[in-house]
Chains A and B, each alone.
Chain A
Amino acid sequence: MATNLASMAVEAPASRRARRRIGGVTISAWVGVVTLAVAAIAGLIVLLVPSLRHLWTAQDLRSTFLGPLSPGHPLGTDNLGRDLLWRTLAGLGVSAGVGVGVALLAVSLGLMVGIIGGFFGRAADVATNVVIDVTWAFPAILLAVLFAGWLGPGLLTVVLALALTEWAGFSRIIRGEVLSLRERDYVSAARVLGRGRVAISLRHFVPNLMPVTMVLAVYFVAVAIVAEAGLSFLGLGAQPPMPSLGSALAQGRDYLTRTWWPVILAGGVLTLTVLLLNSVSDQLREHFDPRIGRRR
């Protein structure tokens, strides 16, 4: 993974092996392209499956609790005889949708509030800090649960609730970055030229904040996916028959004495997804900030 991401950067130092070429293109670039293509196809499938309702709602009560590698059901079936391959894929699609939605909202809100806090004067700084501290007074899952209570359980609630809690920590980081960015010479130059604060924020801060934003956005996707599963597990997220890894776990728990398979499957997929996203986030961080990579 490290080589893939590094290869995408123009100035990244390629290792000797990676510099060998096939058809005029370096090997590491090939690996990068192939990885991206596979990721794109996987993403497309996963986002498409939730709309193919008949695949993951079809029940067959004569073949419930099938194990993996059963004929017709490569990953077995659940307590209602529904195909676990389709349900898991659809659940992943729901996770991905929620994760991306939360990350987009949290990042936009956090960027805005962080820049306002760091660049729009002392009063704005104090005010945004108070808002962040109030948000932080409630444990994240608690806020999400309260939201689910307000708006009724459902995926939209989950997205809103998670976005409205996750932005706070991100905003603090952005504020810190802005505090150092605003001392740069080009910012002084822009101010002397009479540019307004909003214009400077958009022209200079936002592009310079992109690296840390991307690293944390990927991290938020992972956090949101786990939180969505947790809320759905509690019955506050996806409502049946909407597939979700969290509800699959809750269902699996009820039949643990009979079979472990659905729990192992949903739990394993969830854990692997988180592991993957976290490692992407780590690689991005190392890519943008080489100091961190070397320290290990």
Chain B
Amino acid sequence: MAYALKRIGYAVLIMFLASLVTFAALRIAPGSAVTAILDPARTPPDVIERYKEELGLNLPIWQQYLHYMSGVLRGDFGTSLFDRRPVIDLIAEAAMYTVVLALAAFVLAFGLGVPAGVLSALHRGSWFDRIVRWFTSALMSIPNFVLALLLVAILGVKWKLLPVSGASAPINLVLPAIVLAADPWSLTTRVTRTAVVEQLGADFTRTLRARGVSRQSIHWRHVLRNALSPVVSLGSVQIRTLLGYTLIVEVIFRWPGLGSQLVQAILKRDYPVASALALLLALVVVIASTVGDLLLRAVDPRIRSSKEVVA
């Protein structure tokens, strides 16, 4: 319990620093909020000054930060420089799409990856194992946007089986989810396979076998349980990777989620939107890694006794 509190405190510290980063991103950005709206060459200086005052840009930087954070905590991320709408509305619109896409990919990656890895390990050297290993290494070498273009070309343009852009119907989810899941699926399968193989060769497995414990019982009660912890710790890392990949995948498939919104915001230099999205993604990643760490200690008692890096 004490560990859990420490870990959560640490997560809060990381989030605070991450918010400093996104705040700085907002301020350092070339073309401040003022010059993005008013042309400095044509606007009289006193108008610019007045506007700065209105936005609170003449205050000391720490007061600006406090102002920014008090807004953020109330869900006010400012307004988009582009269409003057509240950033929070834009995020709310897009968030659902990204959550659905990322969840679908996560379920695909783990739902198919863990069984594939376990089967592959239990039947090491079989044709299934060989196919899985070949397939995973192929998928891990193809950059996901290349895979996306190939699938679009074959399934979308040539055979016209699946829609390749937009989010008008549930079937639009299929291609982006597959592309997003491809890399995490390969990694999950690999890690699961390695973990299970390692446990199958462990001393305790040999002892159990020598004592006449049935194969089924060894596999399901002992090996899989012990192989769980690397898979769990992979899960929280995967969320970060998935969120990173959504940027590219959403753009390719014109999926109207947070990723394509972020890329749009950056290309249009809409800093309030960009920094709000960055902060939001950072929050998700920090929460995921905290939950992952806590979960890991729950499933693997060995970690509890080992020394922590921080805290």
Residues of chain A touching chain B, judged by Cβ–Cβ distance below 8 Å, are 125-126, 129-130, 133-134, 136-142, 145-146, 148-150, 152, 226, 229-230, 233-236, 246, 249, 252-253, 256-257, 260, 263, 267, 270-271, 274-275, 278
Contact = CB atoms under 8 A, between A and B. Distances in A.
A139 B281 contact: yes
B17 A271 contact: no
Given A150-B25, A230-B145, A267-B149, A126 B248 contact: no
B243 A142 contact: yes
Contacts of B262: 142, 145
B248 to A, nearest CB: 5
B152 A253 contact: yes
Given A137-B282, A149-B271, A256-B152, A234 B248 contact: yes
B99 interface: no
B281 A256 contact: no
Which 5 pairs between the two chains have the least Cβ-Cβ distance? A139-B244, A267-B146, A141-B244, A149-B266, A137-B282
Nearest to A222: B141
Given A139-B243, A256-B153, A260-B153, A133 B146 contact: no
Nearest to A258: B157
A142 B282 CA distance: 9
B142 interface: yes
Nearest to B245: A141
B150 interface: yes
A173 B93 CA distance: 40
Nearest to B242: A139
A59 B71 CA distance: 52
B274 A149 contact: yes
A256 B145 contact: no
Nearest to A165: B244
Which of B149, B275, B285, B310 lies at the interface centre, i.e. has the most chain A CB atoms within 10 A of its CB? B149
Contacts, number: 117
A114 to B, nearest CB: 13
B269 interface: yes
Contacts of A142: 243-244, 247, 262, 278, 281
Contact of B30 (A129, A134, A150, A256): A150
A134 B266 contact: no
A133 B16 CA distance: 12
Chain B interface: which size bin?
Answer: 35 or more
B143 A229 contact: yes
B132 interface: no
A232 B278 CA distance: 20
A256 B157 contact: yes
Contacts of B296: none
Nearest to B237: A136
B188 interface: no
A148 B263 CA distance: 10
A30 to B, nearest CB: 29
Nearest to A141: B244
A137 B309 contact: no
Interface in B223-271: 240-241, 243-245, 247-248, 251-252, 262-263, 266-267, 269, 271
B92 interface: no
A129 B309 contact: yes
Interface in B135-161: 141-143, 145-146, 149-150, 152-153, 157
B121 to A, nearest CB: 13
21 contacts: A125-B309, A130-B13, A130-B17, A138-B18, A139-B241, A139-B247, A139-B281, A141-B245, A142-B278, A146-B274, A148-B266, A150-B29, A230-B143, A230-B145, A234-B247, A235-B267, A249-B145, A252-B149, A257-B157, A267-B142, A274-B141
Contact of A274 (B143, B282, B286): B143
Contacts of A140: 244
